[in-house]
Copies of this chain bind each other. A is one copy, B any other.
Amino acid sequence: MVAISPLPHRAVVEHMVRQSVYQRLGKPLPRPAAAPNPLVVNLSSRHCHLTQESVEVLFGKGHQLTVHKWLYQEGQFAAKETLTLIGPRSRVISNLRILGPCRSLNQVELAYTDGIALGFELPLRSSGNIKGTLGCMLMGPAGFFEMTEGVIRALRHVHMSPEDTAFYGVKGGDEMALKIGGPCALKLDKLLVRVDKSFKLEVHIDTDEGNACNLQADTPCELI
């Protein structure tokens, strides 16, 4: 797997600049700048996670996902491979991106807009909690794979390390809010806190949420 490591996210650079400017001026840091880590807000387009077995059914025996683009979370990537999804009413979504590396379960994450296009109501679930949800058919170049369950709208969430939860005074499973500025400003409530030692501070919202506020690289965001 050869892929160029991405440039630092704009929010990361801004955080560094802000911290050093305040330091130079000898002024106390305002709260967002005092946070141990920069706040990165990324938009998750529709995508799926697959097991290695499903990848082999869809792309051929022994096939390994290849890196298209590294994501902000360490080791996570958007794969070059995409799929065609066939929904329960035979409607289709093409070019569904696979995120790697492979996981222990198959899961498709769509926006409500996609659910409307496919003609069924998506359940709102936290990632991994797919019991009792509808499935779909996936089509790859080497074959079809039937997912019996796992098509969801993922709950908006924030990835945090224990260092971040200590700063914000929250714990895994809590709900926070995200204020997004700009001309279509809004505040997203019920942002699920997910904690892991390996996590970098990052909020994931979907395309409906991102389009509702027209999230751009320079849109100001604040975690509360």
Q: What chain B residues lie within 8 Å of A207 (beta carbons)?
A: 113
Residue of chain B at shortest CB distance from A115: B211
Alpha-carbon separation in the docked complex, A211 to B124 (Å): 12
Q: Given A208-B212, A211-B113, A212-B212: A189 and B187 within 8 A (CB)?
A: yes
Question: Counting CB contacts under 8 A, is A111 at the interface?
Answer: yes
| Closest Cβ–Cβ distance, residue A220 to chain B (whole Å) | 12
**Most central of A124, A156, A189 by chain B CB within 10 Å:** A189
Alpha-carbon separation in the docked complex, A184 to B207 (Å): 14
Residue of chain B at shortest CB distance from A209: B212
B211 touches A112 (CB 8 A): yes
Residue of chain B at shortest CB distance from A181: B189
Interface of A is mostly: mixed
B211 touches A111 (CB 8 A): yes
Cβ-defined partner of A208 (8 Å) among B124, B187, B189, B208: B208
Beta-carbon contacts of A111-125 to B below 8 Å, as 1s and 0s?
111001000000010
Question: Counting CB contacts under 8 A, is A185 at the interface?
Answer: yes
Cβ-defined partner of A186 (8 Å) among B112, B186, B206, B211: B186
Q: What chain B residues lie within 8 Å of A111 (beta carbons)?
A: 211
B124 touches A183 (CB 8 A): yes
B184 touches A116 (CB 8 A): no
> Please, could you name 6 A-B residue pairs with CB atoms under 8 Å apart, sorted by A?
A111-B211, A113-B211, A186-B186, A186-B187, A211-B212, A212-B212
Question: Counting CB contacts under 8 A, is A16 at the interface?
Answer: no
Alpha-carbon separation in the docked complex, A192 to B75 (Å): 43
Beta-carbon contacts of A152-192 to B below 8 Å, as 1s and 0s?
00001000000000000000000000000001111111100
Question: Counting CB contacts under 8 A, is A214 at the interface?
Answer: yes
B190 touches A187 (CB 8 A): no
| Closest Cβ–Cβ distance, residue A19 to chain B (whole Å) | 28
